[in-house]
A and B are shown apart, each in its own frame.
Chain A
């Protein structure tokens, strides 16, 4: 009798704790949302949109790196595929509404992701990373050569157009709230994926792939789906970025971009939902601030030093370390 009471007590207290943690998370999310909604009043909208686009890109990579344990070194290819497709469609077909351009751009990246994924998931670890890098380089050279991309000069003057044919996106504030909506959509999708049974299997694969295989999961299928989803989200980020900046350039396809997004994700904290967002915000802000000042020469060395420091001393990244700290001091 006595033992059952304590058991139910413990269970109840666990449930209570979980509920209070959930409530805390909800409050945190609401505060962040409010901040994002109010941000353009204080900060320059185009700058905020840049952060949101890169945050979405990093969130996409994190689905693969943080939750499935696959390090893709070729994600720039998906960003660029989305970016160039949307740019090409919106500049060539003036009747097309903006969201159609974005949808087709995203779909292109999804398909490209399927192609990449089918080849790359056959190998693990460093070989996987190198295959994605090699394929991304092929895509890069395609964009260098293809006549419609404008080569080194890039694609310029992409019209922002009208959302659903109604809302004029040339207004920076309208554009900002649209980008915010797209970003939140992508973020919530990843949150949903990670929390779903599918996400649990991905985490199992990350922790111990042979065990997942022995439990009867078709690991390759799961990895492929995660890869395709991640590629699609990266393409979405590229498509939206093109609409924001009204241009698509080779920088998007260059392997530097693949490296930069890995940096953002690691810096913010892999395997945490907010980590990539914080990482993207941090890197973009740092680059932006340094490029305006006398330390302009030192952007790359500073980023490099921060990266080394993160990997050596703060392996869980900014958000990961904060979470660890809270956990340690709360209990």
Chain B
């Protein structure tokens, strides 16, 4: 009884939502809400500088789209799904926010995407890593723009095996995210003819990695892969640096590492690490030109997340301009139909599951001798084509894909 009632109400609700779609900009204002970690662990990789990137995009667009004003509101997500969901609910219900940008911690992103689906607004995820965001948690109301864990495992692992790293030691953070990465890496390594000789799991979070690094060294593996994130990764790298792991001939592969992390570690302890990134500031004239402007505003070089926020906002505003509407589905369709060609991505395509597929890059951290200044940190070793890097739609568990 209750189930039929629920089905009925949801059917009525969706009918209403579709009926409400109109080709005009509501309130004659395009309102963008920026939600990111402004004070916690993920502050550096997105944070207040991400807001600057967003403001740069709006300013470059001229502050207006089809005569409608572009407004920005922002809030700290406190890395808490509770706080974020009450903020976003208020944004979409009371303040008529059309787009939520930023979105870092995956728990926050999933909570927010559920609200966006309910209220039929749009979200562009630039900071989150979890590939589940466009897989089992996909909605027709969000786009995952910059990167996810799938290419991190896929890109780094297959590239490193091809470079000759045949035997692998995996150090895994002992929770769902770490297990997923470990599984992906193992699969990719074995498919490419490598071998995982040992996996060790460490509690989440861990501050003292010395025993794990010693185990890694004595395993004699060619490659030591870190299937963890954030402070765990940087702690492990610092310890590996102190034990001279890379100097003794082993390759250190980090799966999730940002430019700001490497900058904090310094070239001395991070040298020789292989990692996958969606973008690097020093790739060509276009990226350098934008990064110089960004650095003038903020005093630091942008991460791939900052660049992604800028690029996705411009794409969004272009789509609003082209369709003359801020209705989420109209805009999303327009964005899917337009390949992305800018300083962030070449021929980037947004798929129906919301994944923006673009080329990824395998980078190696420079040695202190090679590094010309504090931000000159990566050598781009290899370009991983987008189709190879991201999860193919045939493997997708997304409801939007399987329905077709």
Residues of chain A at the chain B interface (Cβ within 8 Å) = 44, 46-47, 50, 94-95, 141, 144-145, 147, 150-154, 156-157, 162, 165, 168, 241, 245-247, 249-251, 287-288, 290-292, 296-300
Contact = CB atoms under 8 A, between A and B. Distances in A.
Contacts of B204: 144
Most interface-central of B38, B79, B106, B174 (chain A CB within 10 A): B38
Contact of A47 (B9, B48, B75, B86): B86
Contacts, number: 111
A95 B76 CA distance: 37
A-B pairs, top 9 by smallest CB distance, nearest first, are A151-B176, A291-B76, A296-B38, A296-B76, A154-B107, A249-B81, A46-B86, A144-B175, A251-B80
A287 B78 contact: yes
26 contacts: A44-B86, A47-B86, A94-B2, A95-B2, A144-B174, A151-B177, A152-B107, A152-B177, A153-B106, A153-B176, A156-B114, A162-B2, A245-B82, A246-B114, A247-B85, A247-B114, A250-B107, A290-B76, A291-B78, A292-B87, A297-B38, A297-B43, A297-B48, A298-B39, A299-B76, A299-B78
Contacts of A50: 82, 86
B81 A152 contact: no
Contact of A245 (B9, B79, B81): B81
Given A291-B78, A291-B83, A156 B137 contact: yes
Contacts of A46: 85-86, 89-90
Contacts of B70: none
Interface string B1-22: 0110010010000000000000
Interface residues of B, number: 39
Nearest to A83: B82
B130 interface: yes
B86 A245 contact: yes
B83 to A, nearest CB: 7
User: Main SS of the interface on chain B?
Assistant: helix
B114 A157 contact: yes
Nearest to B78: A291
Nearest to A166: B2
Contacts of A156: 81, 110-111, 114, 137
Contacts of B26: none
Nearest to A53: B82
A179 to B, nearest CB: 13
B94 interface: yes
Contacts of A288: 83, 86-87
B383 interface: no
Contacts of B90: 44, 46-47
Contacts of A145: 174-175
A287 B84 CA distance: 12
Interface of B: 2-3, 6, 9, 38-39, 43, 48, 73-83, 85-87, 89-90, 94, 106-107, 110-111, 114, 130, 132, 137, 174-177, 203-204
A94 B3 contact: yes
User: Main SS of the interface on chain A?
Assistant: helix
A274 B80 CA distance: 27
Contacts of A298: 39
Contacts of B80: 249, 251
A151 B174 CA distance: 10
B395 to A, nearest CB: 19
Most interface-central of A46, A165, A298 (chain B CB within 10 A): A46
A151 B179 CA distance: 11
A153 to B, nearest CB: 5
B107 A296 contact: no
B148 to A, nearest CB: 13
A145 B48 CA distance: 32
Contacts of B2: 94-95, 162, 165
Given A144-B204, A247-B81, A292-B75, A299 B39 contact: yes
Contact of A247 (B6, B38, B82): B82
A44 B94 CA distance: 9
A76 to B, nearest CB: 13
Contact of A296 (B9, B39, B110): B39
Most interface-central of B39, B79, B130 (chain A CB within 10 A): B39
Nearest to A297: B39
Contacts of B9: 168
Contacts of A249: 80-82, 107, 111
B394 to A, nearest CB: 24
Nearest to B1: A165
Nearest to A242: B82
A100 B87 CA distance: 28
A66 to B, nearest CB: 25
A168 B6 CA distance: 10
A172 to B, nearest CB: 8
Contacts of A299: 39, 76, 78
Contacts of A157: 114
B85 A150 contact: no
Contacts of B78: 287, 291, 299
Contacts of B137: 153, 156
A95 B111 contact: no
A254 to B, nearest CB: 10
A296 B34 CA distance: 13
Contacts of B83: 287-288, 291
Contacts of A154: 81, 107, 110-111
